[in-house]
Amino acid sequence: MRGPTVTDDAAIGYYGVPPVKASPFDWKIAAYVQIGGVAGAAQVLSAVAAAAGGRRARGVVRHGRWMALAGAVLGPPFLIADLKTPTRWYNMLRIARPTSPMSVGSYILTGFGAFSALAALPAGRLSDAAQVPAALLGAGMATYTASLLSATSSPFWAEAPRSLAVQFACSSVAGAAAALSLAEQAAGRPGTAATLDAITAAAAAGELAASIASGHDHKEPAVAGALALGVAVPLACHAANRLSRRPSRTLSVIGALAALAGGALLRHAVIQAGNRSTERPRDTFRLTRPPEPARLPPRR
């Protein structure tokens, strides 16, 4: 007699009942991941501009600090709204648990918000000093949300922890450079905007490489669509601007908007794909296949 095996599609599992449960995370978490990631990366880019950009990058430094603070203020309400008992949001800081990305993330967010508030003070020694820790925590903001998703048992997130983190990190940097580029264009500084567009393009290329490396063998159309918008459009716009003798402001703006929208869509699509992947027993059992043939007793 044959029992079901991992390769027998129809017979696997128990009446198709999901062996793991889906997270309750919805668009509010996706919104936070995008806002927090872009804010964190904006602080990083602002710090880079302060260190390496010289006088002409001062606008970028200032705008980056403001964006970081704005994200640190606007993001958390989405997190709190997603709690099922929101009045107890402060319990997030009740303990510190290094094994929990959500606990670690709560402290990253708190520290990032505090230092970003100081860094947004009028230019001076205090704000410059505060920007260093703010930018380091900002790098964490750009990344930790992906690790938070991967440190679960949802197959879509759990099977690619590294590439998911690189995708989120790159998408955050692309989004921040795009937002800063829009601000530079608005201020009539196309030169710095072009530098920022190049950073967006570099980050988009990284995102693309990571998504190819992730090797998700079930196709998620929404994730692919988000990549097309957030990666292909900015890359194409940037390439066109590099090749033409007169870089177009419109192309720069379109590329930046696409990077931001694509980033938001990517977060939402990845969260939905992870939740949905729990409903496919085959994906869970593929994730939990033993690394070497198991020593189960003989089948009768």
Partner 1 sequence: MTALIPDESALTAGTTVRPGRRYGFFTDTTLCIGCKACEVACKEWNALPADIPGLTGMSYDNTVDLSADTWRHVLFVEKIAPQAGGERVTTMPPFQSNWLMMSDVCKHCSPAPCLEACPTGSLFRTEFDTVVVQQDICNGCGYCVPACPFGVVDLNLSDGKAHKCTLCYDRLKGGLEPACAKSCPTDSIQFGEIDDLTERARGRVEELRGLGRDDAYLYGAPGTPGATGGIERLNAFFLLTDRPEVYNLPEHPTRPAERFAPGMAAGLAAVAGLTLAAALLFGRNGGGDGGRP
Ranges within 185-244 binding partner 1 (CB under 8 A)? 190-192, 194-195, 197-199, 202-203, 206, 210, 241-242
Binding segment for partner 1 among 41-49, 214-222, 224-232, 262-270 (CB under 8 A)?
Answer: 41-49
Give CA torsion, residues 38, 39, 44, 46, to 10 deg: 110
Distances from the Cα of 25 to the Cα of 33, 73, 92, 273, 275, angstroms: 11, 20, 16, 11, 8
Does position 288 interact with partner 1 (CB under 8 A)? The reply is: yes
Contact 265, 218 (CB under 8 A): no
Q: Which is nearer to partner 1, 140 or 230 (CB)?
A: 140
Q: Which helix (H) or strand (E) holds 128?
A: helix 125-150
CB neighbour list of residue 244: distance below 8 Å, 6 or more residues apart:
none
Closest CB 129 distance from partner 1, rounded Å: 19
Q: Which of residues 120-159 bind partner 1 (CB under 8 A)?
A: 139-140, 142-144, 146-148, 150-154, 157-158
Report the distance separating Cα 151 and Cα 278, nearest Å: 14
Cβ proximity to partner 1: between 169 and 226 the closer is 169
CB 215 → partner 1: shortest distance, Å? 14
Tell me the C-alpha distance between 285 and 289, whole Å: 6
- Decide whether 60 or 265 has the Cβ nearer to partner 1: 60
- Applying CB under 8 A, does 44 fall inside the site for partner 1? yes
**189 three-state secondary structure:** coil
- Indicate whether 271 belongs to the interface with partner 1 (CB under 8 A): no
Considering the rule CB under 8 A, would residue 84 count as an interface residue with partner 1? yes
With binding defined as CB under 8 A, does residue 249 bind partner 1?
A: no
Size of the site for partner 1 (CB under 8 A): 114
Nearer to partner 1 among residue 92 and residue 226 (C-beta): 92
Is the alpha carbon torsion for 146, 147, 153, 159 positive or negative? positive
Q: What angle do CA 223, 174, 266 make, to 5 degrees?
A: 15
Near partner 1 by CB under 8 A: residue from 125, 188, 217, 245: 245
Q: Of the ranges 4-12, 122-130, 220-228, 254-262, which one interacts with partner 1 (CB under 8 A)? A: 4-12
165: contact with partner 1 by CB under 8 A: yes
For residue 248, what are the CA distances in angstroms to 209, 240, 253?
Answer: 27, 9, 9
Q: Compare residues 112 and 168 and give the one whose CB is closer to partner 1.
A: 168
